[in-house]
Structure 1
Amino acid sequence: MLGLGTLAKKVFGTPNDRKIKATRPLVDKINALEPEFEVLSDEGLKDKTEELAKRAMGGESLDDLLPEAFANCREAAKRALGLRAFDVQLMGGVFLHQGNIAEMKTGEGKTLVATFPAYLHALTGKGVQIVTVNDYLAKRDAEWMGKVFAALGLTTGVVYPQQPDDEKRAAYACDVTYATNNELGFDYLRDNMEPELNRMRQRGHNFAIVDEVDSILIDEARTPLIISGPAQDRSELYVAIDKLIPGIQDEHFKLDEKTRVATFTDEGNEWLEEQLHAHGLLPEGQSLYDPESTTIVHHVNQALRAHKLFTKDKDYIVRNGDVVLVDEFTGRMMPGRRLSEGLHQAIEAKEGCTIQPENVTMAQVTFQNYFRLYDVLSGMTGTAATEADEFMEIYGLGVVEVPTNLPIARVDDDDAVYRTAKEKFEAIVETIKEAHDKGQPMLVGTTSIEKSEFLSDLLTKAGVKHNVLNARHHEQEAQIVADAGKLGAVTIATNMAGRGTDIKLGGNVEFKIMEAIEANPDEHPDEIRARIEGEHEAWEQKVKDAGGLFVLATERHESRRIDNQLRGRSGRQGDPGRSAFFLSLEDDLMRIFGSERLEKVLSTLGMKEGEAIIHPWVNKSLERAQAKVEGRNFDIRKQLLKFDDVMNEQRKVIFKQRLDIMKAEDLSEIIKEMRNQVIDDLVDQYIPPKSYADQWDGEGLYAAALEHLGVDVPVIDWVAEEGVDDEDIIERLEKAADEMMAKKAVDFGPENLRSIEKQVLLQTIDGKWREHLLTLEHLRSVVGFRGYAQRDPLNEYKNEAFQLFESMLDSLRQDVTKTLAQIRPLTEEEQAEILAQQGLMRAPPAPAEAEAAPQPDPEQAREGFDENDPATWGNPGRNEPCPCGSGKKFKHCHGRMV
């Protein structure tokens, strides 16, 4: 009897069926337009693009333009590549345009499918990015599909690493740009570190199609993209903290050697706080639990780990004054390898070595947060359905399974489970020999390069000729994959291999033709093509008669999606094929998930050596195990993303501010608002709200106004005035600061001052953001311990990250105001000296009058003089030696104003 769910599906169809059905009318419309576009000239296709672009930019929706755009693109592809898109390819294009993931089986022509939505969205003039997994595929697809876009009158660019910036900007300016996910992310970060608009590479995030979307948005999304640079020198801090650690008692910390974690106890934290206050490392009134203490807590924790978890001559050695790590497995030294997050520096401080600077994160972004910038995101892959929940939850992407052009004729065997790995590999070699003898091509999937090499040795001993696919060279990879469908071919590949190139039965015709043209330069290419295509048909038929491509997997992967990718290499475009998975109880997945029960079953059945258990129940059990692992991995990625989302909100605010600043012609109003906020904060600090006049600190406010605002005004007298309040003082300080800046505008020239304001603002934002990223990294590393105090680490991180962000903005306002208050134009003399130092001109001789100027009486100058007290120096000339005795000119020593 059918279940209710199965019955409902039979009557109403699945949600996927309904989506497919909804696109049929659109596909019919495109097909109906085909005769109209077939009669257009080549120029006519380009004219059509111009007409559609005008309509798109005039406000007509892309949905309305879709049938004509797709019909035009299909005709262009037919002329440029000789490929006429099938109806299911048009369907895939429709789903991509709508912002979905189109799950299309291997060999269904995803590369061509991408041209349809890319062309449609390029009509808006905002640019389209097509994302691939490696540089080779990006270049290959750009060159191959670029012919279609050229036939439509559009430009195509390709972005790759180490590309000159001018070329890269030109590639992004094209209508359609092919690039890898890594390069797109890094360019986004680089753009947001540039000081000028015209140096930025990308031009917004309009529409992206991600090829192998599961690989990029799930597998690679675990690791963020980071641009790092040398940090400021903190060696004194490491040394100062290191001196505290020997005083630690056993009750001050807990050690877990298994997980290599050392943590302070409550008593330890109290002792530590006292010591940090006593040594001036923690400001008075500040607790270890305050957000501002995050960096110091991080450094103290690393110092504790360096002393209690890392042992000299076991974990590391000291050689020539350097701390060199030792590999725990081989006992070999690992020069050049360094521990991260300040741990290596803490060990250097412990051993009294020279402390090398840390690398600091200057910018970072996760793939999740980068790709969520796009107005419309879409993707293609052969395997996405198993991760549909993650795609929807993280990216808001629906997954639609697009039907194949021809029914799948592949036979999928049930998994065969052997007792030991030895028995399994013996059975694999035997199966390969049988298939090889009858000429059936085989693709053998392994989970690691070591296992590939192990199997390769077994096949060599068995006398089976084979290829081992190594993913180090993409071009070579494509060649081996192209040959994998030849009669009797045996190809061993790791999981990642074979992306982007189809395995065609009988071998890849295009590759054969290219090889033949190179080998026979005298023969006409058309004759070579005709001959090889004729030969290929016969070879293809022989392979089909032998059973098509046989995919044999030597192990189940943690993710069923990876298994499906391998299985999907066989049976493309309705070809015959076969797939089988050979497993053993010693495989990682089987060992971790319930191999004991299976072993009991095998023993009960009284299985002999070399026999396998083959049953659909085993498949179900494995599927559940894989679902468990995938669920756990998803939870880990989701948790990481929640933490990154906190930083991402702040990153978007900072990057938007930078962009607004670069676009603005005049920032004087923003600078004024910042200055006024600094004045409000200073007055609040020295004239606290709701305080009495005798509690006001006029001297402190005077000194602060001089330091932060560069104004020398009688604040002490103002505070002493009868009836004055904080509002009056704020108003007077604002007026004085405005007048001072107005004078600077005259001294520098208004345009120069505007330019200086922009530079100061951008440089200060960048510096503060780098410091903030480092503090957030430190916060991440210590916030997990809050869980022991029954506090949610994520909420703690959110709250403290917000407070730190507010502190950063306050500090930013202060630094910008202070820097602008202190700048002054160079005198002609100083300019001449700088030019002389640069070798551009000789410094002018001092004028005769200056040489003859009367010198002060030495005795008179010395009366009451104290070289350590600048108040006793009188008014030294700027070019005279500094009275402090340093030997420098006064203007380069105590007289320096900038």
Structure 2
Amino acid sequence: MAGLGALARKIFGSANDRKVKAFKAKVAEITALEPEVQALSDEDLRARTEQFREQLKNGASLDDILAPAFATVREAAKRALGQRHYDVQLIGGMVLNSGQIAEMRTGEGKTLVATAPVYLNALTGKGVHVVTVNDYLAQRDSDWMGQVYRFLGLTVGCITHGLSDDERRAAYAADVTYGTNNEFGFDYLRDNMKHEREAMVQREHNYAIVDEVDSILVDEARTPLIISGPLEDRSDFYNTVDTFIPHLTEEDYELDEKARSVSFTEAGNEKLEGILSEAGLLKGDHLYDVDNVAVVHHLQQALKAHKLFQRDKDYIVRNDEVVIIDEFTGRMMPGRRFSEGLHQALEAREHVSIQPENQTLASITFQNYFRMYNKLAGMTGTAATEADEFADIYSLEVVEIPTNRDVSRIDDDDEVYRTVEEKFLAIVKLIDDCKERGQPILVGTTSIEKSEYLAELLKKHGYKQIDVTDPASFIAAQQQEGGKAKVFAVLNARYHEQEALIISQAGLPGAVTIATNMAGRGTDIQLGGNVDMRLDIEVGEMPEGEKRAAREAEIKAEAEELKQKALAAGGLYVIGTERHESRRIDNQLRGRSGRQGDPGHSKFFLSLQDDLMRIFGSERMDSMLQKLGLEEGEAIIHPWINKALEKAQQKVEARNFDVRKNLLKFDDVMNDQRKVVFEQRIDLMDGDTIQETVADMRHDVIEDLVTRHIPERAYPEQWDTDGLLEEVRTILNMDLPVKEWADEEGIADEEVKERLRRAADEAMADKAAKYSPDIMRQVEKAVLLQTLDNLWREHLSNLDHLRSAVAFRGYAQRDPLQEYKTESFTLFENMLAQLRQITTAQLMRVELVTEQPPAQPELPEMHAHHIDPVTGEDEMAEPRDPEKPETWGKVGRNEPCPCGSGKKYKHCHGALT
């Protein structure tokens, strides 16, 4: 069947080929316009922007002006940047304009590709967002590509951490706005906590192009964006719970590495009941009594912390804190914390200071944020393996764009060894071979632990690790003995500050670079080294003049010579030390080699002890290899093994997709409610007066009050007049003769409702007359918005608890998702009933001391975590001011004191605490 499919593709072309072919006619049209735009002066070229805008106002569509607009951008890029779009880059731009994902290999110039569709869509005046993975790339791309947009008369903004609301508002008002996924998402959440429409910074979500779309919409989309505020400290409780776990044996819990889950067995539950009872923490007779829900939750989190998480793989301990390591990029993410008490459980396990949990104030998943855009597009080097997910969740199709030059990289079949030790010895042998012929080597590992294991092994074989903290000596060491010196560099989360330097020189002849995952690094490895980086390091401080010019020419000539040596040696050799769960991450590593037609080589080394091989049943293969007489140090190499591994990876990817899809189904329920609440807030802020809304709420409350205490068609003697009188006093703040009304002949519940409505309306009218209608309108708006915000936060917490609880309904053959939908709707209705009652009660009681308009309520203390994937630092944290200890945040005991004394914190300001 596979053969028939290949034959059909050969004759008819694949579906992807047909899509690409459809765009080629448009490329010819754009190229035909080139002589015309080349003849224009700069002013005339810029004037085309207004002409296009006029055409759009007069009813033309974006497709109508695509060819002349793209031709204009191509010419502007030539003049502003000295770069002309290749034909394949124009095809990529058309794919992006049509709201699809352009898959383009590393080094094909995705940054330039985006300029054409961005310009075209910015002509509508509704704004275009270009989304990047970190602040560095957002700033770099807005400065770099901004030259093209500004040349054509468009405005460009850039959203980075640390901007004020006014600066953000100005950046969003620009025609083109660059920023990170986190910044865009957090600004949306913060906007929906503001109390005035003018204070909001974002405008409509018109069109977004997401760079590294797989990293942002798949990897990053596993966790929501959360804005939170602190709760009380419960360190003792976490430490106590942590001491229970070492008492458990393997019979007390079930561990499933494939599903990354662990749970208590019956024996474990009985043992824990005894332990908790002795510790005085068990309420009632059984562990699963409703009063023990919180304790059980934290016991499960402590079990996860001990059995599912490995130090130096999933997290590291640094400066008295547990720092998460991103499994896809291998970078540290200080500031990002696991939720629901899991991070506190890890802190208790590692005996470091326990930070208090936070209450969620607002949250959204990237899936639901990016689905708000009218048009969404993305670009990356690796998306085909996740095509189903992009289509299913985001309605995005993946189109593979042909390379400008044919790829000449050789991808070898995997080598499979019996043990990890044999595998790494084979890797060292290959590194020796590459060193001998001066071929640059990039070794990709899946964790810090593995990269350090390989580093130690290389040291035993006579290699020396280069100090990466001094750029000049680092470059000199890499070039020592023409690249044949036995030296190597390590790039992982422990050395993230030197990342750009290490990557820039990884293409030098004979350079050996060990890297923990190469996903989304935003930098190409150039053969012969990165000239711009060398110029910056070696002549950056030199004054302008002949001496500097001579040194620059010398460096450029040297780099060209080194490039030729690296090319002659076969280009960059990429070595994978094991297969990742996702084929996409393996492809990203491979894609570092063979950019723009360069030669290259890639090979993966595996052992039967690797996680992927071990989890997917390598015992049978091990016994089979022993029977076949596989000697120590020998490998099995066969295309069938590659196919089997690919199938295993596909299974893992499918499972992970199902997990994300299931999480999204639950989040969609909350998202529907969030949209209603956020839209209501905007309507309230936009309205000049909400008097009618408040009056309707007051009347609904009175309706509910009377219905509760006066049953339908009941006789007056059956009325609960005492209860009604009490609630009228509590909620409406009025003392009314309710009991006397009940004694009146022929009175019914409708008459009571009418009297209460009239009395309440008169009381509010008196307040408005007393304080002035304008001030009262402002008070009504402030009270309603503040009450809505407080109840929404409480509702988010209730939904979190509900989500944990409904998971167990599956045991009773009930669909947890359906249960969640039903009960969350009930909770939402309850929240709205509370909103009506609390708002009415507050407004009926409000007394203003002054006749000045009330101040807008302050926003609560907020913490938003935004981790820069390049530096690993929390970009949402305030920069430290040596003069102001309140800006320092949490300082590690052994860190240099932020005051600048040069002493360790524990011996300086830390000694005072």
Q: TM-score range by the shorter chain?
A: 0.7 to 0.9
Give the SS at the match of 1:484: coil
Mapped pair 1:208 → 2:208: yes
Q: Residue 448 of structure 2 contacts residue 493 of structure 2 at CA under 8 Å; is this kept in 1?
A: no
Shift of 1:331: 14
Alignment of 1:470-485 (within 5 A): 470-471=492-493, 476-485=498-507
Aligned to 2:706: 683
Shift of 1:645: 1.0
Alignment of 1:389-788 (within 5 A): 389-460=388-459, 461-463=461-463, 464-471=486-493, 476-496=498-518, 499-518=521-540, 520-523=542-545, 532-788=555-811
Cα displacement string for residues 776-833 of structure 1 (whole angstroms, at most 9, x for unaligned residues):
111112111212222111111111000000000000011111111111233799x9xx
Give the SS at the match of 2:604: strand
User: Residues 496, 725 of structure 1: CA spacing in aligned structure 2 closer, same or farther, 3 A cutoff?
Assistant: farther
2-structure distance, mates of 1:676, 1:603 = 82
Shift of 1:465: 1.3
Mapped pair 1:794 → 2:793: no
Q: Residue 771 of structure 2 contacts residue 851 of structure 2 at CA under 8 Å; is this kept in 1?
A: no
Q: Residue 469 of structure 1 contacts residue 497 of structure 1 at CA under 8 Å; is this kept in 2?
A: no
Shift of 1:170: 2.2
Shift of 1:528: 5.8
Between 709-718 and 818-827, the greater mean CA deviation after superposition: 709-718
State the one-letter code of the partner of 1:175: D
Shift of 1:357: 7.8
Aligned to 1:300: 292
Shift of 1:121: 1.5
1-structure distance, mates of 2:710, 2:735 = 18
2-structure distance, mates of 1:66, 1:2 = 39
2-structure distance, mates of 1:512, 1:219 = 33
Mapped pair 1:32 → 2:32: yes
Cα displacement string for residues 269-327 of structure 1 (whole angstroms, at most 9, x for unaligned residues):
xxxxxxxxxxxx99xxxxxxxxxxxxx9876312456799989xx99xxxxxxxxxxxx
Instruction: Structure 2 unaligned segments of length 5 or more: list them.
Output: 241-250, 256-261, 270-282, 307-314, 324-336, 346-353, 464-485, 855-913
Shift of 1:532: 4.5
Give the SS at the match of 2:799: helix
Between 752-761 and 171-180, the greater mean CA deviation after superposition: 171-180
Shift of 1:57: 4.3
Q: Residue 46 of structure 2 contacts residue 151 of structure 2 at CA under 8 Å; is this kept in 1?
A: yes
TM-score (norm. length: structure 2): 0.78
- Which structure would you say has the larger Rg? 1
1-structure distance, mates of 2:664, 2:390 = 13
Aligned to 1:128: 128
Aligned to 2:138: 138
1-structure distance, mates of 2:521, 2:832 = 47
2-structure distance, mates of 1:765, 1:664 = 16
**Percent of matched pairs sharing the same residue:** 59
Q: Residue 416 of structure 1 contacts residue 581 of structure 1 at CA under 8 Å; is this kept in 2?
A: yes
Aligned to 2:475: none
User: Residues 63, 796 of structure 1: CA spacing in aligned structure 2 closer, same or farther, 3 A cutoff?
Assistant: same
Instruction: Structure 1 unaligned segments of length 5 or more: list them.
Output: 243-253, 267-280, 283-295, 316-328, 347-354, 832-898
Between 711-720 and 36-45, the greater mean CA deviation after superposition: 711-720
State the one-letter code of the partner of 2:517: N
Q: Residue 477 of structure 1 contacts residue 497 of structure 1 at CA under 8 Å; is this kept in 2?
A: no
Aligned to 2:469: none
Aligned to 2:109: 109
State the one-letter code of the partner of 2:679: K
State the one-letter code of the partner of 1:492: I
Give the SS at the match of 1:389: helix
Q: Residue 302 of structure 1 contacts residue 343 of structure 1 at CA under 8 Å; is this kept in 2?
A: no
State the one-letter code of the partner of 1:88: V
- The higher-RCO structure (CA 8 Å, 6+ apart) is 2
Q: Residue 411 of structure 2 contacts residue 602 of structure 2 at CA under 8 Å; is this kept in 1?
A: yes
Give the SS at the match of 2:826: helix
Between 391-400 and 484-493, the greater mean CA deviation after superposition: 484-493
State the one-letter code of the partner of 2:506: A
Q: Residue 316 of structure 2 contacts residue 322 of structure 2 at CA under 8 Å; is this kept in 1?
A: no
2-structure distance, mates of 1:373, 1:790 = 35
Q: Residue 212 of structure 2 contacts residue 520 of structure 2 at CA under 8 Å; is this kept in 1?
A: no
State the one-letter code of the partner of 2:293: N
User: Residues 262, 190 of structure 1: CA spacing in aligned structure 2 closer, same or farther, 3 A cutoff?
Assistant: farther
Shift of 1:66: 1.4
User: Residues 790, 45 of structure 1: CA spacing in aligned structure 2 closer, same or farther, 3 A cutoff?
Assistant: same
State the one-letter code of the partner of 2:363: Q
2-structure distance, mates of 1:43, 1:502 = 35
Aligned to 1:47: 47
1-structure distance, mates of 2:317, 2:62 = 63
Cα displacement string for residues 158-200 of structure 1 (whole angstroms, at most 9, x for unaligned residues):
2222333322222222222221112222221111111122222
Q: Residue 527 of structure 2 contacts residue 563 of structure 2 at CA under 8 Å; is this kept in 1?
A: yes
Q: Residue 577 of structure 2 contacts residue 604 of structure 2 at CA under 8 Å; is this kept in 1?
A: yes
2-structure distance, mates of 1:787, 1:584 = 39
Q: Residue 215 of structure 2 contacts residue 520 of structure 2 at CA under 8 Å; is this kept in 1?
A: no
Shift of 1:443: 1.1
Aligned to 1:276: none
User: Residues 590, 504 of structure 1: CA spacing in aligned structure 2 closer, same or farther, 3 A cutoff?
Assistant: same
State the one-letter code of the partner of 1:719: A
2-structure distance, mates of 1:147, 1:720 = 82
User: Residues 306, 663 of structure 1: CA spacing in aligned structure 2 closer, same or farther, 3 A cutoff?
Assistant: closer
2-structure distance, mates of 1:708, 1:730 = 14
State the one-letter code of the partner of 2:219: D
Shift of 1:733: 2.1
Q: Residue 412 of structure 1 contacts residue 580 of structure 1 at CA under 8 Å; is this kept in 2?
A: yes
Between 371-380 and 510-519, the greater mean CA deviation after superposition: 510-519
Aligned residue-pair number: 766
Q: Residue 129 of structure 1 contacts residue 176 of structure 1 at CA under 8 Å; is this kept in 2?
A: yes
Aligned to 1:74: 74
User: Residues 760, 345 of structure 1: CA spacing in aligned structure 2 closer, same or farther, 3 A cutoff?
Assistant: farther
State the one-letter code of the partner of 1:300: N
Between 651-660 and 37-46, the greater mean CA deviation after superposition: 37-46
1-structure distance, mates of 2:339, 2:560 = 58
2-structure distance, mates of 1:706, 1:343 = 46
2-structure distance, mates of 1:210, 1:670 = 40
Shift of 1:586: 1.4
Give the SS at the match of 2:570: coil
Give the SS at the match of 2:162: coil
Give the SS at the match of 2:413: coil
Shift of 1:717: 3.0
Shift of 1:483: 1.3
Give the SS at the match of 1:383: coil
